Amino acid sequence: MFKTRKHQYSETEIVEGCIRNERFFQELLYRTYFERMIAMCMRYTDDRDIGMEIVNNGFLRVFKKLDTFSFKGSLEGWIRKLVYHSLSEYFKKHSKYLQFLVFEDHDTSVSANALSNMYEEDLLKMVDTLPPATKQVFQLYAIEGFTHPEIAKNLSISVGTSKWHLATAREKLKSLIEQQSNYRLHAG
């Protein structure tokens, strides 16, 4: 339910209002999810202006594609996915995509050359090789922007276990990236 001071609106009413291009419903949708989407983006940049640019581009996608939302799964998850695509596009354009997805800001253990020749599809294939629980935590944290407490609650695990899975995923992905880089170097 979406609440205003005077009325409650269902998800269906909001989506249909946005599809009709009604500003009231567009603003209601934007305001409802803005804080969660900007929080996800700000995990990858310290610049609020960049975060705002990414979120606004993401919501532009949301409004353009809202007629394709089929009410299977959560609206928030669908919005998060579209904002995430804007986030990844931004970092692809600025050559940091793989770094922001896999590595923490202070981690420089994988060479820039190893990352420069990779594509999103390569990394996603690597993510698919992770053990199921580790993959799930990595996707929730690094891709969908959930916090460790949120992941712990959703998966019925401890915050420490969530952090362990994330660290394990990053170490495995770093290793796979280096292996692929070395293979390309010797094969090319």
CATH code of the domain containing 63: 1.10.1740.10
pLDDT for 64 equals 95
Q: According to the model, what pLDDT value does residue 125 have?
A: 78
Taking alpha carbons only, the member of 60, 97, 99, 100 closest to residue 82 is 60
Residues 120 and 50 in one domain: no
What 3-state DSSP class applies to 95? coil
Same domain, 84 and 106: no
Phi, psi (rounded to 5 degrees) for 8: -110, 140
Residues 7 and 30 in one domain: yes
Same domain, 90 and 105: no
Same domain as 166, residue 86 = no
- Span 11-29, mean pLDDT? 94
Between 53 and 4, the higher pLDDT residue: 53
Residue 50 sits in the same domain as residue 120: no
Residue 3's pLDDT band, with cuts at 50, 70 and 90, is low
Same domain, 33 and 49: yes
The pTM assigned to this predicted structure is: 0.55
Residues 6+ away with beta carbon under 8 Å from 84: 40, 58, 143, 144, 145
Out of 94, 113, 133, a domain closes at: 94
* CATH label of the domain that carries residue 170: 1.10.10.10
Average pLDDT, the chain: 81
- Residues 58 and 37: beta-carbon distance below 8 Å: yes
Final residue of a structural domain among 36, 66, 94: 94
- pLDDT score, position 65: 94
Model confidence at 102: pLDDT above 50: yes
- One domain for residues 88 and 6: yes
Residue where a domain stops, chosen among 65, 94, 123: 94
In which domain, by residue range, is 168 found? 100-187
User: What is the predicted pLDDT for the residue at 177?
Assistant: 80
Q: Are residues 46 and 88 in the same domain?
A: yes
87 and 70 within one domain: yes
Most confident range, picked from 4-18, 23-37, 71-85, 117-131: 23-37
pLDDT band at 103, cuts 50/70/90?
low
Please check whether residues 89 and 27 belong to one and the same domain: yes
- Number of domains the chain is built from: 2
Q: Given the structure tokens 């804007």, which residue do they identify?
A: 86
Residues 78 and 112 in one domain: no
Pick from 3-7, 13-17, 124-128 the range whose average pLDDT is largest. Answer: 13-17
The 10s digit of each residue's pLDDT in 115-161 is: 545 555 577 778 889 999 998 898 888 766 678 998 999 899 999 99
